C-alpha cells in the first residue's frame, strides 16, 4: 500500500501505480520515448537507470518485459524514498531495486560490464548555464548540479562494459557535445533518433544508443 506523501500525485503505468512529488521531475513524453527506444528487453538483461527519480523507467520496463534484474539509482532523499515506495506498492521488490547514492560512485560498487543496458534521462541544462530552480530536487533533476555529461558517460561506459547498451534522451541543441563526449570516452553511436513533435519545427530532443 502507498503511505501518504505530502504534495504527491498518483498516476498509472499499465498495471502499476506510481506516486511522484510535485517538487521533483515527473514522467514526461521524453521518458516514454526513451523507454520505447530501449525496449524490447530480454528476460536475462540487467538494466540500470541512472537518475531514476520516482522510479518511472524501472516500472515501465517491469510492465513491458520479463526482465527481473532492474535497478534505479537516485541521489535525492525524497525521490529515492518515493521510488522505493512505488516498487514495494506494486509488489516488484523481487525485480526492481532502488539505490540511494551518487551515481558517480557506482564504479566502486559494480565491476566493469555489470549491466547489459544502461539508461538515463539526465539533466538537460549544462552546468553553469541557464537559471537554476530554487527547489533543490528540481534543480538536480533539470541541471547538471550533481553530475556532468562527461561524468555520466564515464560511469555508463564502465557499467556497460564492452558489450552493453547505453541509451540516453537529450536536447538536440547539445547533440554535437554528446557525440564529442562519447568519442572522447571511446564510444560510438549505434542508433540516433530525433524526436520531432511538430513537423514544421526542428527537433528538440534526440535518442541515442552507444
Least confident stretch, 4-18, 99-113, 156-170, 176-190: 4-18
Quote the pTM value.
Answer: 0.88
Residue 2 has pLDDT above 60, yes or no: no
pLDDT class of 23 with cuts at 50, 70, 90: low
Contacts 24+ apart (CB under 8 A), 6-14: 8/82, 13/56, 13/59, 13/60, 13/63, 14/60, 14/63, 14/64
Q: Find, among 109, 103, 108, the residue nearest to 123 by Cα.
A: 103
Mean of the pLDDT values across residues 128-136? 65
Mean of the pLDDT values across residues 179-208? 93
Each domain of the chain, given as residue ranges in start order, spans 8-209
pLDDT class of 192 with cuts at 50, 70, 90: very high
In angstroms, rounded to a whole number, what is the distance separating the alpha carbons of residues 181 and 167? 14
pLDDT class of 200 with cuts at 50, 70, 90: confident
Four-CA torsion 134, 101, 160, 84, nearest 10 degrees: -90
pLDDT in tens, 95-125: 999 999 999 999 999 999 999 999 999 998 8
What are the backbone dihedrals phi and psi of residue 188, each rounded to the nearest 5 degrees, phi first?
Answer: -125, 140
pLDDT in tens, 62-95: 999 999 999 999 999 999 999 999 999 999 999 9
CATH code of the domain occupying 8-209: 3.40.50.150
Q: Which helix (H) or strand (E) holds 25?
A: none
What was the pLDDT predicted at 128?
67
- Contact 83/99 with Cβ under 8 angstroms? no
What was the pLDDT predicted at 174?
96
Mean of the pLDDT values across residues 24-40? 88
pLDDT in tens, 143-165: 577 899 999 999 999 999 999 99
Least confident stretch, 5-9, 56-60, 161-165: 5-9
What was the pLDDT predicted at 6?
46
What was the pLDDT predicted at 4?
41
Mean of the pLDDT values across residues 20-29? 66
Amino acid at each position: 500500500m502507498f503511505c501518504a506523501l505530502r504534495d504527491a500525485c498518483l498516476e498509472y503505468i499499465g498495471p502499476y501505480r506510481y506516486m511522484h512529488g510535485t517538487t521533483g521531475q515527473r514522467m514526461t513524453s521524453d521518458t516514454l520515448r526513451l523507454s520505447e527506444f530501449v525496449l524490447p528487453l530480454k528476460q536475462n538483461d540487467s538494466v540500470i537507470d541512472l537518475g531514476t527519480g520516482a522510479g518511472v523507467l524501472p516500472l515501465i520496463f517491469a510492465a513491458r518485459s520479463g526482465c527481473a534484474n532492474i535497478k534505479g539509482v537516485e541521489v535525492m532523499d525524497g525521490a529515492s524514498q518515493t521510488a522505493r515506495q512505488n516498487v514495494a506498492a506494486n509488489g516488484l521488490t523481487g525485480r526492481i531495486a532502488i539505490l540511494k547514492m551518487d551515481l558517480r560512485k557506482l564504479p566502486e560498487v559494480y565491476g566493469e560490464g555489470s549491466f547489459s543496458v544502461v539508461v538515463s534521462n539526465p539533466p538537460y541544462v549544462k552546468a553553469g548555464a541557464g537559471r537554476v530552480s530554487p527547489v533543490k530536487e528540481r534543480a538536480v533533476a533539470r541541471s547538471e548540479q550533481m553530475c556532468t555529461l562527461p561524468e555520466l558517460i564515464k560511469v555508463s561506459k564502465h557499467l556497460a562494459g564492452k558489450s552493453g547498451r547505453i541509451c540516453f534522451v537529450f536536447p538536440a541543441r547539445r547533440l554535437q557535445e554528446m557525440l564529442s563526449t562519447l568519442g572522447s570516452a571511446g564510444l560510438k553511436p549505434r542508433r540516433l533518433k530525433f524526436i520531432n513533435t511538430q513537423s514544421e519545427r526542428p527537433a528538440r530532443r534526440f535518442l541515442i544508443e552507444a
